[in-house]
Amino acid sequence: MTNLRPEDYANENLRKALRIKKIDADSIHDARVYLRKYYDVLSSFYPVYENAECLYLAKEAISALGKVRDIDICQINDEKRDELANKALRRVRKLENCYIGRVCCSRLLVYNNILRIYIQLNDINDFHELRKRVRKVRNLVESLGFESSEIKALAKKMGDIRDENLRLQCKGIKPYEINLTPFKEEAIKTIRRILLVQNEFHHFL
């Protein structure tokens, strides 16, 4: 287990996003992943630390990159795709002054966010909402340096299902129904193991 500072993790991912200049599908995907990791950590610091402007800019850039990503997933021949991609990267570059300074108790703040998400899981009844929570936990766990292979695998599996259903929709085919129960059970078990195995914080239950 590595004692990372979450703000360093967030800043490194922001740095990677800002370095991306190409607009091919892989580059757009990578920029979105990096920026999502930055955003998830930054949003977890509230109310001890808040930068509303950078949160807004990150959210806008993630949304713009997401629109291009969906075009790429569906393999749509959209003549405006490259224009949208360039606009999205320009939004990313607006975050060049959004690096995070030292935040008091940053590891505790992130851990508490993971714990809060875990407590809320039983109340989630939508696959895509659950997928977003799992993805956020994956990023937060990674930012703490905790072992994250299981939560990464679950996040990828759920993301792949989302992408496949989007492809079906783009083809005019009704997406298949998703049984939420096994995914919720796996998410609860996986996050519980993460919380129990770590020995840094002692207010799990």
Alpha-helical (H) ranges within 45-126 are: 52-74, 81-93, 106-120
> CA-CA distance, 198 to 112, in Å (whole number)?
13
pLDDT tens string 36-58: 999 999 999 998 999 999 999 99
E strand residue ranges, the chain: none
pLDDT tens string 13-26: 999 999 999 999 99
The architecture that CATH gives domain 1-104 is: Up-down Bundle (1.20)
> CA-CA distance, 132 to 27, in Å (whole number)?
21
Q: 191 with 151: CB under 8 angstroms?
A: yes
Residues 6+ apart with CB under 8 A from 52: none
Q: What is the mean pLDDT of residues 149-167?
A: 97
Q: 3-state DSSP call for residue 164?
A: helix
The answer to whether residue 203 scores a pLDDT higher than 80 is: no
DSSP type of residue 79: T
Query: So what's the pLDDT on residue 43?
Result: 97
The answer to whether residue 79 scores a pLDDT higher than 70 is: yes
> CA-CA distance, 36 to 32, in Å (whole number)?
6
The single-letter code of the amino acid at 167 is: R
- pTM, two decimals, is 0.95
Q: Secondary structure of the chain: what % helix, strand, coil (to 5)? A: 70, 0, 30
Q: In which band, very low, low, confident or very high, does the pLDDT at 119 lie, cut at 50, 70 and 90? A: very high
Q: What is the mean pLDDT of residues 103-120?
A: 96
The answer to whether residue 204 scores a pLDDT higher than 80 is: no
**Spans of all domains in the chain:** 1-104, 105-205
> CA-CA distance, 116 to 175, in Å (whole number)?
31
Q: What is the mean pLDDT of residues 73-100?
A: 96
> CA-CA distance, 125 to 138, in Å (whole number)?
20
